[in-house]
A and B are shown apart, each in its own frame.
Chain A
Amino acid sequence: MVLQSLLKNCLQLSCILRTPKAGFRSTTSGGLIIQSTSSDVYQNLAVEDWILDHMNLENRQVLFLWRNSPAVVIGRHQNPWQECNLRLLRQKNIKLARRRSGGGTVYHDLGNINLTFFTTRKKYERMENLKLVVKALKALRPQLDVHVTDRYDILLDGQYKISGTAAKLGRTTAYHHCTLLCNADKFVLSSVLKSPYKGLKSNATPSVPASVKNLFEEDPSLTCEMLLDAIAEEYATQHQIDRHITLINPADETVLPGINNKTEELETWEWVYGKTPKFSVSTCFNMVYKDSFLDVKVDMDVKHGRIEVCNIDLPEQWLPPALCSELVKSLTGSKFCPNETTTLATMLLRVCPQDNELHSRWNLLWENMVMLM
């Protein structure tokens, strides 16, 4: 891999990116390979958005290479509550991102590489891209048993998924991106991608779970860098371009004007959670209070990540009726989010009668409610 100095890269890239037509005329290349210097999932997703919106890919294609620090990435139309263990994510400080392409949920960490193939909409062709990846892998390690399925997955040894695919089509440009498991933490992967939330009903795109394996397990001499190099080389060969990788910094406004706005948008609660298609939660839980067991039934409709309708069935008189209706009224319209719910509960407690018994019942109920989120 030939790494030119960062400054030269930026200059070259900014020429190409800002005056795409001029760039196209002046370079002989029909392609460009870029790699992100950041491992922030939101910044990297923003780069994809930026290229989709700003680059003219009429006679050029782009390959974007990136890796992220631990993050769960859900598809555009998915439900994060259905797809992953949000509680565990929060505990382990693993980020949650919603990408703009479709498809299912994946876990990223630095042992996973991401490849994005940018083309015009006309030249959008996923199978070709994946075959390129397989070719690169076989060139690197001829004994690897890897092939592409008709679901656009790449399987190792005929049964283990090592790559998943998703795509986004804009007005004139399109991209196809895929993951590739080199040396990711499989233990964390399987624990975060298991949802503990029961009673969810939604039309969101469901993920199709699959057994995964790292390429590293098959051949311990493989590293992410080697895979990136091999794929870049194959891409360069197929597009007849120079085999060098331009580094880009996804926070650099001079090279990518407007990129920070895109990054911010991807980080907002409204995007990550608020874009969840309408769903309902219908579940019950047991509470143990002093020596009694209580059954509580909860029904909620959640739209745009906010509770639209809320129904809580408590044992009669366990909480004063006025308080119960206060509970429901305040939940309605609030975010389906443990932080918001806890803040709400504790604030409301200030205006309740100051009775220790009442307070402990109230707290118990809210703690259980928060477990649903």
Chain B
Amino acid sequence: VCIHRVRSCSSIRFIKSKYVCVFDKSALKFSHQQRLFRTSAVSCGQIVQFKLSDIGEGITEVTVKEWYIKEGDSVSQFDSICEVQSDKASVTITSRYDGIIRKLHYNLDEIACVGKPLVDIEIDASKGVAPEEDVVETPPMSHEEHTHQEIKGHKTLATPAVRRLAMENNIKLSEVVGTGKDNRILKEDILNYLAKQTGAILPPSPKAEIIPPLPKSETVPAAPKDKARKIPVPVSRPIVFSGKDKTEPITGFHKAMVKTMSAALKIPHFGYCDEIDLTQLVQLREELKPLAQIRGVKLSFMPFFIKAASLGLLQYPILNASLDESCQNVTYKASHNIGVAMDTEQGLIVPNVKNVQVCSVFEIASELNRLQSLGSAGQLGTNDLTGGTFTLSNIGTIGGTYAKPVILPPEVAIGALGKIQVLPRFNGKGEVFKAQIMNVSWSADHRIIDGATMARFSNLWKSYLENPASMLLDLK
């Protein structure tokens, strides 16, 4: 459509004045055409060569380091066009005009000369721009004069692109809070304003006419759009939102996740959930925390969960196994390398604590500290991230009760721990007491693990945690 307009414009350039009169009258009847003809009738797509302005200090040449736009993009006044560098100075070149970029005169890393054309811009509407003016010399206020609007005596600063957006959405600029320089209204401000208006009926505007920049000889009487505005009340208007969908390719980390998770879901999962009363463990941890602190280690609940899991795996080694690809052989892993799911900036990573079966709770806590600090610094190595045989995911630190965790191949089981909640429970005497309750959700590979095995393992794990003293009997 743009290109078509340009071509048709160039052919009528010589009969410009005649067309102005004709098109303006018809424009009044059809609001959508109003815009089309307004822009083309008056300026006829004048291409202006935007020259590289003076950098100062007598510099004549700069290197173009980055383009922020490409040919065909539309720009508004003050949008950044490119970044150039000269002798340790980096300069952002901004557009003096609204329009469409038609030509870039330089490629990246080429030398551009001050005073020579940098880009060609096809100008949007009649602005009366003098192409020779130096962007730098002119103080800011004169650029903005033609973008001022007098609405109820208020001067609102906004570029023509922003004003058009406001007009399309029937927004009064005086009602929008500007967050740009000098309280200038930016595109984001209009979009924020719109977002707040969702569901609300836009009030009819009695007086304010947003005057399009036509030559002064023509006035704009009310178009049918204005008549609709004057009808008071609940005609709910469709809210116009100018946001765009954004598509980007899946790369790197996410690509790997896609692969891993697709493989994981080939495993037939079954779930088993339960509720654990951690009242005693909470108390125990409170007592042990300062002791660990003295030894320089931060003690959370995880080391207990991990050690209890390992004790359970000693009784039910099938949960610490691996099924080969052809499902012909099961390998029972000797080491309990228990993985702990961690949420980082990048996403999910699962470092593991090696040989939990021979580690004390304190050693596990210390190792966890090390993995956590490396994890948050993004410095975990391949050794820490591979070789896991069983995984625990403490999603409860973020929230939630029950979950449906996905097994991480080549493992065969995984447990998700919900948050610890204080809930009322009955004790043996039938009295209500305050209990610290946490939910666990196990998933296991149903090809080699059956429900009974999972249930018994879970019960054993639960008993160790509900009565921590019993762990002492079986600790190796």
Contacts and interface: CB of A to CB of B under 8 A. Distances in A.
Contacts of A77: 65-66, 83, 85, 90
B346 A306 contact: no
Contacts of B257: 347
Nearest to B411: A350
Contact of B346 (A170, A340, A359): A340
B252 A344 contact: yes
Interface stretch (A119-127, A132-140, A221-229, A314-322): A119-127
Contacts of B325: 353-354
B207 interface: no
B91 interface: yes
A277 B65 contact: yes
B249 A351 contact: no
A169 B91 contact: yes
A170 B249 contact: no
A167 B89 contact: yes
B196 interface: no
Nearest to A119: B56
Interface residues of A, number: 62
A196 interface: no
A203 interface: yes
Contacts of A58: 139
Interface in A258-272: 258
Contacts of B57: 124-126
B451 to A, nearest CB: 25
B253 A354 contact: no
Nearest to A126: B57
Nearest to B345: A269
A93 B89 CA distance: 29
A333 B252 contact: yes
Contact of A152 (B88, B108, B109, B179): B88
B111 interface: no
A53 interface: yes
B122 to A, nearest CB: 22
B78 A166 contact: no
Interface string A335-356: 1011110111111111101100
A101 B87 CA distance: 11
Contacts of B94: 170-171
A121 B252 contact: no
A58 B55 CA distance: 17
A287 to B, nearest CB: 14
Which among A54, A126, A174, A339 has the highest number of chain B CB atoms within 10 Å? A339
A75 interface: yes
B263 interface: yes
Nearest to A101: B90
A106 B151 CA distance: 51
A349 B90 contact: no
B418 interface: no
A104 B90 CA distance: 11
8 closest A-B pairs (Cβ-Cβ)?
A: A334-B252, A333-B251, A103-B88, A339-B378, A346-B385, A167-B89, A102-B90, A347-B256
6 contacts: A77-B90, A90-B379, A338-B378, A342-B385, A344-B253, A359-B386
Interface of B: 55-57, 65-66, 78, 83, 85-92, 94, 108-109, 135-137, 139-140, 179, 181, 249, 251-253, 255-257, 259-260, 263, 322, 324-325, 331, 346-347, 349, 377-383, 385-386, 408-410
Interface of A: 53-54, 58, 75-77, 90, 93, 100-104, 121-122, 124-126, 152, 165-172, 174, 176, 203, 205, 257-258, 275, 277, 306, 329-330, 332-335, 337-340, 342-351, 353-354, 359, 363, 366-367
